[in-house]
Amino acid sequence: LVPVGLVAGIALTFAIVSLARLQMSLPVALKAALRRKEFILEYQPIVDLRSGRWTGVEALVRWRRPEGEVILPDLFIPLAEQNGLIVKLTQLVLERVCTDTAAFLRAHPDFHVGINVAPADFHAGGFLDSLQHALRQMGARESNLMLEVTERGLLDPVVARETTGLLRRHGFLLAIDDFGTGYSSLSYLESLELDYLKIDRSFIEAIGTGAPTSQVVGHIIGMARDLGLRMIAEGVESQAQADYLRRQGVQYGQGWLFGRPMPFWEIVRHLEDQAAR
């Protein structure tokens, strides 16, 4: 017998929606969806490449329409950013992370949940307060939360230094996301207080292909090592990629090879099995 939750999870992950079927214009629909809280999270494991242990997850938002259709974030995050709705969405994501993971995090101080933070979240006042409020509600620690910020989100050097410094001093984990797709220089990154660097999937894809980008990943790894940053490789799909990354000294991986985004209860079940082994 296949558990209903699993079927729902798979349907959720693969459901594709025709945006044309939305009756309203998309920004209007999105705004209504925020009010009705039609958003859920899936969680993808982050894995220690040496031991295979799951050390954290990334929370990935999905818009689940009342009819059950699921819209993936690439379709609505840019829209939310353009329409001034992203700060509200991040709030909702934080709320959901609380309800999904609080009980687990209280018992697992070393485990981290990553949330994606948009540039506007940093610029909006009160972001630090809402993070701390969420943590208090969860009874979790600052080090349980990893904030994933893209290079694009750190374009303004003054704002970037101030906000990352502040969040870091408060004990939150900070990751630079989609690394390699922006234009950050080594000296710029050096001036920011970061914990993790997430190597963008486009570079992982190129490993072993002989394509010009396949040379780049080695440079990125060397650079991160020089900066003393821990690395998470995104989009690891094959054992050959994982082996290469491990040999190069990359500590963590995330990708379909280890696990697709899934409901948090499936994460917990895996971790319980892991602990029992």
Q: In the complex, which residues of this chain contact Ca ion (CB under 5 A)?
A: 116, 148, 177-178, 200-201
Q: Which does 119 bind (CB under 5 to 8 A by kind): Ca ion, ligand C2E, none?
A: none
For position 72 contacting ligand C2E by CB under 6 A, the verdict is yes
3-state secondary structure of 38: coil
Q: Say if residues 217 and 199 touch (Cβ distance below 8 Å).
A: yes
For position 242 contacting ligand C2E by CB under 6 A, the verdict is no
Q: How far is the CB of 202 from Ca ion (least distance, A)?
A: 8
Candidate list 70, 77, 120, 227; residue touching ligand C2E; CB under 6 A: 77
Residue 47 is which amino acid? V
Report d(CA 168, CA 248) in Å as an integer: 27
Binding-residue total with ligand C2E (CB under 6 A): 20
Write the CB contacts of 245 (distance below 8 Å, at least 6 apart in sequence). 49, 204, 207, 233, 236, 253
For position 30 contacting ligand C2E by CB under 6 A, the verdict is no
Q: Say if residues 40 and 10 touch (Cβ distance below 8 Å).
A: no
What DSSP string describes 65-97? -TTS-EE-HHHHHHHHHHTT-HHHHHHHHHHHH
- Name which of 76 and 104 has its Cβ closer to ligand C2E: 76
- Name which of 226 and 256 has its Cβ closer to ligand C2E: 256
Q: How far is the CB of 148 from ligand C2E (least distance, A)?
A: 6
The H-assigned helical ranges of 83-192 are 86-107, 119-123, 127-138, 157-169, 186-190
Q: Which does 73 bind (CB under 5 to 8 A by kind): Ca ion, ligand C2E, none?
A: ligand C2E
Half-sphere exposure of 228 (CA within 13 A, CB side): 5
Q: How far is the CB of 118 from ligand C2E (least distance, A)?
A: 4
Q: Which residue is nearest to ligand C2E (CB)?
A: 255
Residues that bind ligand C2E (CB under 6 A): 44, 60-61, 72-74, 77, 93, 116, 118, 177-178, 234-237, 254-256, 261
